[in-house]
Amino acid sequence: MAEQEASGLQVLLSTLQSSCDKDVILNILSVLTDLLSLGTGRRIHYVVSKGGSEALLQALATAAQTEPPDHGTLLPLLRLLARVGQRDRKFGLKVQKAEATDIILSLTRRHLGHHLHLTHCLWVLRVCASNVTTGTMLGINGAMELLFKVITPYSKRHVRTVRAAIGALAALLKSKSNSRRAVNRGYLGELLRLYQDWHRNDVSNNYIYIRRGLLLCLKYITNIQLGRETFLGSRGMEILFTSVQDCLSCKNLDPIITTATHILRKCYPKEHLPVMTVRSSYSFPLPGNASAEPPCEGSEGDSESEGEEEDEKDWDNEDVESKEEDCDLETDVNKLRSRPVLDRPEQELEKYEALCAELFQNFQELEFESEEKKSLEDRTESLPSAPSHFIPSATSVKHPNCRWRNQSVTEMGPDPGEQDFKVPLQSWRKKEECIWDKNDENRDIAEKARDKEFCEEGDPARSHVFALCSLLKDSAWYKKVFYPHCEASIDPSPEGRLESSDLVRNLLEKHRMDIPFHSPCFYAARAQCVKSIPGYRELAFPDFWGHQPPPYSKPVLERRHGLQRDKVLDDVRRLIQPGDVIGRTVFDLDDPSLSSPAAPGCLTFFSKFESGNLRKAIQVREFEYDLIMNADVNSSQHHQWFYFEVRDMKPAVPYRFNIINCEKLNSQFNYGMQLVMYSVREALQGRPRWTRAGQEICYYKNHYRCRSAAAGGGGVRRRFYYTLTFSIKFPHKDDVCYLAYHYPYTYSTMMSHLDILEQNRNPRKVYWRQQTLCQTLGGNPCPLLTITAMPESKNRDDLEQFCSRPYVFLTARVHPGESNASWVMKGTLEFLASSDPIAELLRRCFIFKIVPMLNPDGVINGNLRCSLSGDDLNRQWLTPSSQLHPTIYHAKGLLYYLSSIGRAPLVFCDYHGHSQKKNVFLYGCSIKETLWQAGCMVDTAVVTEDVGYRTLPKILDKVAPAFVMNSCSFLVEKSRASTARVVVWKEMGVLRSYTMESTYCSCSHGLYRGLQLGTQELEEMGSKFCLGLLILHLKSLPCSKELMAQAALLLDLEEEITDRAQRRCSNSSLESDDEPPCAEEIDYDTACSSDGEEEFLELDQEIQECLSCVEGETEDEGVTTGQTCSSRALRGLYISSQPAPNSTALPLGSSALGLCRGFESSPV
């Protein structure tokens, strides 16, 4: 039947090609017109697949030979050619093959005086020119000169013809050779004059399509360098900028505004960043013969921890993108199979035995605990205990207006559930009083020297007081808040210091119970011992004082219409109207002498503190600043993370900040994400917290060009930077505020957090050992934690149970800019060290080996991705260097050791953050899923695989509100072969080897849908991951009856899962986690120039409008004799193309030709 249907259409097309009978041809054209006028373009594609284009071109050649031309046949034929040809991708080649270009040009020239006929010819000319090769040939044969005879200044006559001519010219200018020819012949200036004329006279906005068509011509002609230069020389920027200002008040003119803005962005003169070099301001000498050569500009490889290739590509072509992703999949089964190998001599593994002391420890001392330990235990047990089944949770935060227990913001205290452990500062008070009363400067210097010695001994308890004094006095926020009138004084008077010291001491004493697991004293002590390249001497107030999660989750920011274009036009105004541009450098990390802070009305910036990143600040206008981020140490790229201090602001004034050297192709800032802000005055008023802040946020490509000096080595050079722009209204006058990409979590924060957890644990229940995995390149210790339950007794059975517990190996923060990973790890650590019954049970099930920060140096020095060697450490797991990548080398060595003694981890998970996706999800490894995705045949008899890698993510999908199974992936890519996840899976044989990705922004599913995640939700994810591990143990491993009984009491598993499932969106499995297209074009490259289906619809609309002319109307309000055919003739032509019931020339019933069923098989 299908063959009969297809043959019916083929007979129809064949008849059209061979018949000379006018009635037959008209009826065939009528049938085709009726069939193609309904539905979508799929019907046209069906006709094209059956040779429709060739048949119509042959019929055109035949009709054109008739003298005089039969317009009754020619016009419907041209209309069909225009509709079919624009959806035939090979139409240009078919036109060349049929030698129809000369025919079309000849018909166009012949009908210059007959505008209705000419319009039809121009439609076909436009379609033919859409093919670059055919368009070039038409340009050589004089098509552009012909069109400029038709395109006239503003007139109400023949506007359809002018519109069609402009559309054909725009299609011709897609060819670069035609664009060059047009520039050389002065047509660009003529187009600008025509656009000005139509814009000036079209006061009623009746001819928007003509004005936009002229802009499209300019858009394509400026795709070449010569066109952009000529455009600038012809004052094109000023002309378009002025015209756009006239259009902003009318939303109907959006097509004009969008196209004009695109041209302005593309033609904005390109320049390099206003810095001496794109290399980082910080450099570090590498050991041995290792060189610190910068990687090529485009070799970043990925824009987050595991995914997101950053090479420039056509993002509009989904097929191309999916094909490139599939090409990256590893399809070699031998490479996918687990293959234990060693990258070092086996005897070297013996040294890692010291890092597994729990396997060899003698617990006889349990009976002889010191009085000190008993005292500590008594203090710990006297603290408020967590409620039964307590897991730190953010599930009570559902709505941005809700409050915990109906408290106001200023009355907010800590969540009772989080008061499990507090920092006992009583023992610190006397020391603080003594130190704060000392005013002798010489004694301060001596104390600082002694403090340095104490730091080397690694005893924060002995050094915290000295650190507190020396670091606070140097901090800008300290001077601003406590010495507002003598800020210029380097060393305030002793009397002032004493008074302020008392104030600080009183504030610390008042604040000490507000923030769980944080102590300013502990933090200052640890910060004093940190080794950084700049030699930090100041503390950032938020890290010192602490952060308390806000009492509500903030929804994603809604983006107003036209926001990006308004920001772009503001940027263009700098070039067009530079009168108000200040251009003053107010902060410069490279050369502080060039900075000119403290100018009237000028903000003051600072970033030389731990994890800080701001290289340069330039005041553009009174309330606008361009900011430049610093590259990673020993690198010239990796710009995303920022963290800086700003002060001397005016309240309630919108300050605009433009971070102008971002590198990623897109950002969650385009989808409702906000940055975070911390106010010192708010903190001192009882609200010490990072909050989501910023309005008017968008992210787009700018005119700053990446320097090409480092683009060698075969890499793909990233050509331009991107701008992140946002506006901030500061809450207080002369406040000290901090702005950051995401909630900061510094190395000192982590170390002090570990100190507090260790001090407050119950030593009789929690086995806690903190060791140094290794020293980093920068000389900072990388901590390794071992956490499990103490054996219940020294009995042999209990000791054997202790030693036989399976391992879980967790790591985080290999990429310094992914601070969200540290907050998730914080939640994991606090839960594991807590007295919660579930945590106690979990400790009895596993031994946890945890490296909470794999890249301390990068975190300390404000890097985004790299260590001090300039390398992405998560691409070094295959062959790490003991000198350049010590943390990776020794973490891998420890995993090798565990594997060699038969104790490979049950679960390995590396915590990361994802900058371009929502939700929390896992990347795992699967041979079969990778091969299936790549389209490979899988012999299940040969390729066997345990599907247990899916168990943990399925559990987390049910128990963790932020986790989404649909976002998970278990594919193994070639470009990820050197990541921790793949290496541990392949070389150590760990089935459940994961990367856990946490969004910077929000969730697209479930309880937190539409809400930006805060630190509380991230910490909750860390604790829920622990719960998932316990459930995994119960499901996957043999357990004693006693353990199962305890688990049944503590975990009403079915109820937990059912409750969570009910709270999730019922249709979450049907939703996609892919982002919708951005409301405005982020890029302005030529790859984004294709208008696609929009062009098809526009031409279809033109054709339909022409057919809508009826008898009595005149075309284009200006008919003159000899210039158009009469409307009566047009109506007669239209009627003649309709089905005639009594016609005998050809049966008109489409079923008789087998057409109706044929098109049923190709649905509309």
- Residues involved in catalysis: 997
Instruction: Report DSSP letters for 479-492, one per residue.
Output: HHHH-TT-TT-SS-
CB atoms within 10 A of CB 1151: 11
Cα(46)–Cα(37) distance, integer angstroms: 14
Residues 940 and 997 sit within 8 Å (Cβ to Cβ):
no
Residues 1146 and 33 sit within 8 Å (Cβ to Cβ):
no
Kind and range of the H or E element at 586?
Answer: strand 584-588
CB atoms within 10 A of CB 932: 14
SS3 703: strand
Determine the straight-line distance between the first and last CA of the chain, rounded to whole angstroms.
20
**β-bridge partners, 1055:** none
**β-bridge partners, 628:** 616
Long-range contacts of range 1048-1056, CB-CB < 8 Å, 24 or more positions apart?
Answer: 1050/388, 1050/389, 1050/837, 1050/838, 1050/841, 1051/389, 1051/838, 1056/958, 1056/959
SS3 290: coil
Angle ∠(1139,1145,1150) on CA atoms, nearest 5 = 50
Residue with tokens 């725009």: 170
Outline where DSSP puts E strands in 694-754: 695-705, 720-729, 736-740
Q: What are phi and psi of 917, to 5 degrees?
A: -130, 160
Residues 214 and 152 sit within 8 Å (Cβ to Cβ):
no
Q: Classify residue 613 by its DSSP letter.
A: B
Cα(391)–Cα(1026) distance, integer angstroms: 10
Cα(1002)–Cα(668) distance, integer angstroms: 9
Structural tokens at position 970: 């278990």
CA-wise closest residue to 985 among 328, 300, 330, 326: 330
Residues 726 and 695 sit within 8 Å (Cβ to Cβ):
yes
What's the half-sphere exposure (Cβ side, CA atoms, 13 Å) at 410?
A: 3
Burial of 518 (0-12, 13-18, 19+ CB in 10 A): buried
Cα(597)–Cα(592) distance, integer angstroms: 10
How many residues are recorded in the chain? 1164
Q: Classify residue 733 by its DSSP letter.
A: T
Q: Which residues of 1076-1109 are buried (b: 16+ CB within 10 A; e: fewer)?
A: eebebbbbbbbebeeeeeebbebbbebbeebbeb
Residues 597 and 587 sit within 8 Å (Cβ to Cβ):
yes
C-alpha of 153 from chain center: 46
Residues 128 and 168 sit within 8 Å (Cβ to Cβ):
no
Residue 270 amino acid letter:
K
Structural tokens at position 123: 């439609």
* Strand 992-999 to 920-923 pairing: antiparallel
Residues 681 and 857 sit within 8 Å (Cβ to Cβ):
no
Q: What are phi and psi of 946, to 5 degrees?
A: -80, 125
Instruction: Report DSSP letters for 170-227, one per residue.
Output: HHHTTSHHHHHHHHHTTHHHHHHHHHHHHHHH-TT---HHHHHHHHHHHHHHTTSHHH
Structural tokens at position 455: 């730091």
Cα(293)–Cα(879) distance, integer angstroms: 19
Q: Which residues of 242-251 are buried (b: 16+ CB within 10 A; e: fewer)?
A: ebbeebeeee
Residues 1012 and 1002 sit within 8 Å (Cβ to Cβ):
yes
